[in-house]
A and B are shown apart, each in its own frame.
Chain A
């Protein structure tokens, strides 16, 4: 019996090899995205200092393959992993991206594990999760142990682009649900969030056309929770609204200034009037705002120095004890070579009310690090949607 199984496996393998020989394939475009972020951190909390010699969280690797379909569409597969935070329970490696994308000039379909649409814009911080309570709609199914729970999930998304700059997205996700003991892993992967967004956004390549308004958007995120005492889906949904903008204050190719801001309004659940754990923190009514001012000096048409200051404030109006959190992030990146920066960052966090009980009164984090980030493609065979040729001189599929 075993030998028959082996024979069948060999036969199947042989048929696959033969079938590949019979039809020559177009070698796909091959993409690699890699980011290494290594920092020395010193934390000061409640008058006590601790330090981490090597924090390499947020470092990761993405590998992508892309090619033309028989019609005007392109297909893409991306697989990627990253090193999660040291205190996460995700293990040494976390596969944060495994998705397939199908797109043409105006339509994009994306399926798989990827970045969830919990934010509309990115902020200039050393790591993506440095200001998470302000940058992202928080995942109400998580226990807060892993910041990745708020950033990555199983995604089904459709986007349509109107007139090159207007984006409409409809998305459904399965956000990670922290298992409740005795369960040790997730067993239900059904849809637990839906949303949509509208954005006006100037393509990156047209930045020097100098529009003042670079981006403006609004997004709606609804988590399909099991809110006790409510049976209607609408009542059980935890509703969030996100509004964002990026303004080019001085779109100068050498001395560039921009301003970006995002606010998140979480409608919350009325019954949550105190926060003792992360689930309540994500389900309480809240208002969060984050704003950044960024200066970028570009020498010889390449970034040379970036200085940014970001400030965020979040308040919880329904809590019996007045509660809020405040965060200030200042950083600078100096370019040592192509794609390679030395970075300095200081973060200050302050908590009051119920949040003070969870996180302490304040925290300060000093970080010195090196960042190497590349994004490259080989065997390129077609152009991108946002290239100047395609945008301004007629699109070629």
Chain B
């Protein structure tokens, strides 16, 4: 083999290692639609849009061969997408079907403060079996999300998050960059061992607490809840040992994420982003996890058009952006360079599944008008029995 042929074949193979299988096949495209948050249909009560959410324990398959127990809204990770228009009156009836406490925080929304979902600050936690009704007006516009605010470190990475999109009727983004298709991508990071240990530990504790609560026996120190800071300080002076001194948790270490997901899936089960030459698409990027992501798109510069849901005064072009925890960013990709392009975290520690590269939040931008012949492989690949790109490859 000549050196040039060798270089060509190795570069193709290393690139192929990044691509999910059969990107353009009809069945793959049908399956792909299920890898985005499912819109939640509201009921109308007069002028109020009524949404129903519940949380229950649910087994999420992140990739074939790996599942973990999650806390999931409506048995979906992420939870269903709530999509409303700016100014809509919204009611969310939230039912807690687990034996744990929860709330819902509407991240980025200007809700009445008693609707903000912070336990013991704006409301009592929604206890096992209870229902809580959140009501607010949809403000401001843009890409937002909702998540549990009880035991946030555990409950969020366990799956309790979902997108909340407030559409602006006179959307300045659509005016400047006319688009028909948009995609919601919710990023998260999970320490599956932490989740398992903590969930078990919390479930065990809650069985005890439920027994006591049913009998009207609420011990502030046992529940680590005090009326005032002074009361808490006095309790410590009296010999009370707070949970952070004698950790009641299954372990004291902070989580070290080992799974990195987009819409609840890791590569190769992450969603594909479809585009056509000449088309603009909008991506709504949400970081519902605890890790920063440095998202890089191959072969393109995209426009960053919104920050925390709000249009930026001057969209700017770039090919890598930093998506911090709690952040939402909207980008517009212009279909200008036909091909199959990866869109991934450039902190490649997050492009792993349980420590093994490739995996994690790696996904593909796929041009639908890509001619089949452009996905053909060389002789060596054919000898290996590989028909054409793309290929699922899971080892380095």
List residues of chain A with CB under 8 Å of any chain B CB: 205-206, 208-210, 252-254, 300-302, 338, 380-381, 383, 387-389, 392-394, 396
Contacts and interface: CB of A to CB of B under 8 A. Distances in A.
B370 interface: no
B222 interface: yes
Contact of A380 (B57, B193, B204): B193
Contact of B221 (A300, A302, A381, A396): A300
Nearest to A205: B204
Contacts of A381: 193
A210 B215 CA distance: 14
A396 B68 contact: yes
Interface in B18-73: 57, 59, 67-69
B3 to A, nearest CB: 30
A383 B222 CA distance: 27
Interface of B is mostly: helix
B174 interface: no
B207 to A, nearest CB: 4
Contacts, number: 58
B124 interface: no
A278 to B, nearest CB: 44
B205 interface: yes
Given A389-B200, A393-B57, A208 B207 contact: yes
- Size bin of chain B's contact surface: 20 to 34
Contact of A301 (B59, B193, B248): B248
A389 B211 contact: no
A57 to B, nearest CB: 30
Given A208-B207, A300-B248, A389-B203, 14 more contacts: A205-B200, A206-B207, A208-B208, A300-B221, A301-B222, A301-B248, A380-B193, A383-B196, A383-B200, A389-B196, A393-B69, A394-B59, A394-B69, A396-B59
A389 B221 contact: no
A389 B207 contact: no
A258 to B, nearest CB: 15
A380 B204 CA distance: 18
B36 to A, nearest CB: 25
B68 A338 contact: no
B241 interface: yes
B154 interface: no
30 contacts: A205-B200, A205-B203, A205-B204, A206-B207, A208-B207, A209-B207, A210-B211, A253-B208, A253-B209, A253-B211, A253-B212, A254-B212, A254-B217, A300-B222, A300-B246, A301-B205, A301-B208, A381-B193, A383-B196, A383-B200, A388-B203, A388-B204, A389-B57, A389-B196, A389-B199, A389-B200, A392-B203, A393-B59, A396-B68, A396-B69
A154 B69 CA distance: 38
B197 interface: yes
Contacts of A338: 246
Contacts of B193: 380-381
Contacts of B67: 396
Contacts of B205: 301
Contacts of A393: 57, 59, 69
Contacts of B246: 300, 302, 338
Contacts of A208: 204, 207-208, 210-211
A322 to B, nearest CB: 49
Contacts of B204: 205, 208, 388
Contacts of A252: 211
